[in-house]
């Protein structure tokens, strides 16, 4: 095992980052005329404090994120990977018990603010484009591919950010970004596995406008929560006809 900064010691990744990506095109498409930085100037909203105000700042911000992640993954997570694998998860008295090393790794990344990679800055996220996220996943997977899955679990709530009401987003996403909650997607069912078009769980709206969900889900990754962070579960249920396939599904949280 090599203990080092897993971004800085990877010449291939640095070559791609420094020479092969048209950052100007990506940044202009993603940063929306640097509106987060402009909003910070007007309001002083601390969630937007690290928002870049030009292309050069954006590139430096993205690189600093990768360097920070590379340090933690290479010097903290990688040395604990074997211990996490050997001890594994335990199930005791109706609760999933995580290895101490896994808890330490998760808390270190959370405290460094490196978890909400795809969530908007206005909700406490990092607001990173998918290109940067792909670099991050490679760096993280080098340290521990299994832990890499857990590391990014909260970013599934990007679905909530895109489609939920503003009230729901304001209530939940800042708390999720801060690591107070983890996240899961409930798709898999006992008789149909992860066959999306054949999801049988149904959601119906009663006379009071409340949605009632009936069905069963199974093998839902992180549904038990993660360490001490309970999960916000995005549940897929059918609101269309039985023949509506994947287009007849809705998310509930």
Q: What is the pLDDT of residue 124?
A: 97
What lies within 8 Å, CB to CB, of 168 at 6+ separation is: 160, 253
Q: What is the pLDDT of residue 43?
A: 97
Q: Is residue 220 part of a domain?
A: yes
Judge if 18 and 116 occupy the same domain: yes
CA–CA separation, 178 and 80 (whole Å) = 24
DSSP string, 37-62: HHHHHHH--GGGTT--SSHHHHHHHH
Number of domains in the chain: 2
Q: What is the pLDDT of residue 193?
A: 87
What mean pLDDT do residues 215-238 have?
94
pLDDT in tens, 77-126: 999 999 999 999 999 998 999 999 999 999 999 999 999 999 999 999 99
Residue 206 has pLDDT above 90, yes or no: yes
Q: What is the pLDDT of residue 159?
A: 94
Residue 192 has pLDDT above 90, yes or no: no
CA–CA separation, 4 and 73 (whole Å) = 9
Q: Is residue 115 part of a domain?
A: yes
Q: What is the pLDDT of residue 199?
A: 94
pLDDT bracket for residue 165 (50, 70, 90) = very high
Which of 47, 63, 44, 67 lies closest to 55 in space, CA to CA? 63
Q: What is the pLDDT of residue 91?
A: 93
Q: What is the pLDDT of residue 211?
A: 96
Judge if 201 and 134 occupy the same domain: no
Q: Is residue 43 part of a domain?
A: yes
Question: Cα angle vertex 225, ends 221, 226, to 5°?
Answer: 95
What is the residue-averaged pLDDT of the chain? 95
Phi, psi dihedrals of residue 227, rounded to the nearest 5°: 55, -115
What mean pLDDT do residues 141-156 have?
91
Threshold 0.85, pTM exceeds = yes
- Domain carrying residue 132: 11-151
CA–CA separation, 131 and 127 (whole Å) = 12
Q: What is the pLDDT of residue 1?
A: 79
pLDDT in tens, 32-85: 999 999 999 999 999 999 999 999 999 999 999 999 999 999 999 999 999 999
CA–CA separation, 117 and 177 (whole Å) = 9
Judge if 116 and 209 occupy the same domain: no
Q: Is residue 170 part of a domain?
A: no
Judge if 57 and 121 occupy the same domain: yes
Q: Which residues in 144-177 are b (16+ Cβ under 10 Å) and which e?
A: beebbebbbbbbbbbebbeebeeeebeebbbebb
Residue 150 has pLDDT above 90, yes or no: no
> 193: domain CATH number?
2.40.110.10
> 97: domain CATH number?
1.10.540.10
């Amino acid at each position: 095992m090599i203990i080092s900064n897993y971004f800085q010691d990877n010449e291939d990744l640095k070559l791609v980052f420094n020479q092969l990506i048209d950052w100007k095109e990506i940044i202009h498409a993603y940063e929306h005329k640097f509106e987060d930085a402009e909003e910070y100037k007007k309001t002083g909203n601390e969630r937007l404090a690290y928002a870049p105000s030009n292309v050069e700042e954006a590139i430096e911000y993205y690189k600093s994120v990768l360097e920070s992640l590379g340090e933690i993954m290479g010097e903290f997570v990688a040395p604990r990977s074997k211990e996490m694998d050997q001890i594994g998860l335990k199930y005791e008295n109706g609760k999933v018990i995580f290895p101490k090393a896994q808890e330490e790794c998760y808390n270190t990344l959370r405290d460094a603010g490196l978890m909400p990679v795809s969530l908007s800055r206005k909700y406490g996220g990092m607001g990173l484009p998918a290109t940067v996220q792909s670099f991050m996943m490679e760096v993280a997977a080098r340290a521990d591919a299994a832990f890499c899955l857990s590391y990014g679990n909260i970013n599934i709530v990007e679905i909530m950010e895109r489609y939920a009401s503003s009230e729901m987003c304001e209530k939940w996403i800042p708390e999720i970004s801060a690591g107070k909650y983890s996240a899961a997607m409930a798709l898999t069912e006992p008789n149909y596995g992860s066959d999306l078009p054949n999801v049988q769980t149904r959601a119906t709206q009663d006379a009071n406008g409340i949605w009632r969900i009936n069905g069963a889900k199974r093998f839902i990754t992180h549904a038990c929560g993660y360490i001490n962070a309970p999960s916000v579960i995005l549940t897929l249920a059918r609101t269309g006809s039985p023949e509506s396939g994947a287009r007849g599904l809705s998310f509930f949280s």
